Structure 1
Amino acid sequence: MEEANDNFFERVYHIVRQIPYGKVTSYGAIAKVLGAARSARMVGWAMNAAHNLEDVPAHRVVNRKGLLTGKHHFDGTNLMQQLLESEGIRIENNQIVDLEKYFWQP
């Protein structure tokens, strides 16, 4: 089972690496494009495991409402927010303002 998870995680990372600068996507959108529409939580596990992978822009993955639910997996209290804001994405109360404007559909 661990090997299957590793393969799924790598497929997730492949998608996340494609998210353009200044854009975000959701756990569910990634799961859907991978043919596992009901596996958004597993995408979240993959993102949790990716917090130290420099080539995976994990900060660009948010929940379906634009909430920064993965922020606790980053060093520092507001690092995820700071990274997104540095790309021009507006955040208020741990949520992306105007998610549709910044959303990237994989």
Structure 2
Amino acid sequence: MQMVINEQLIYEILSVVEEIPEGKVATYGQIARLIGRNKNARLVGKVISHAEFYGKYPCHRVVNYTGRLVPGWKEQRFLLLEEGISFKDENHVDIKKNQWDC
């Protein structure tokens, strides 16, 4: 079944992204749960990948469930380090220490 992405859903997702505090990260699945769409983590990722068309959002604070950064987006690591996020390795934030508790 194809998921319809409409403006309301886009802004629902981005409004949660906007709430992620500086120095914390959230996962795609966590955002999906917060908007009542538990199984739509990939949908969240798709919307976030186009967020620049809707305004300025702290999308660098969103990682996958293991803490992995977005492949190919080198700036993400730098932005997170600036906020004091700790890493387990080059490509993974320490999700246990840095996950947004919402």
TM-score grouping bracket, smaller chain normalisation: 0.7 to 0.9
Change (3 A) 1:60 1:31: same
Aligned Cα root-mean-square deviation (Å):
2.1
Matched residue type, 1:59: H
Give aligned pairs, total.
100
What SS class does the counterpart of residue 17 from structure 1 fall into?
helix
- TM-score computed with the length of structure 2 as normaliser: 0.86
* Map of 1:90 onto structure 2: 86
- TM-score computed with the length of structure 1 as normaliser: 0.83
Ranges in structure 1 where 5+ consecutive residues have no aligned partner? none
User: How far off is 1:9 after superposition?
Assistant: 1.2
Describe the superposition over 1:29-81 as per-residue Cα deviations: whole angstroms up to 9, x where unpaired. 0001111000000000011001465530000000011000x243x4xxx2000
Matches within 5 A, 1:1-106: 4-51=5-52, 55-68=56-69, 70-72=70-72, 74=73, 78-91=74-87, 92-97=89-94, 99-106=95-102
State the identity as a percent.
33
Instruction: Give runs of ≥4 in structure 1 deviating > 6 Å.
Output: none
Matched residue type, 2:75: L
Matched residue type, 1:94: N
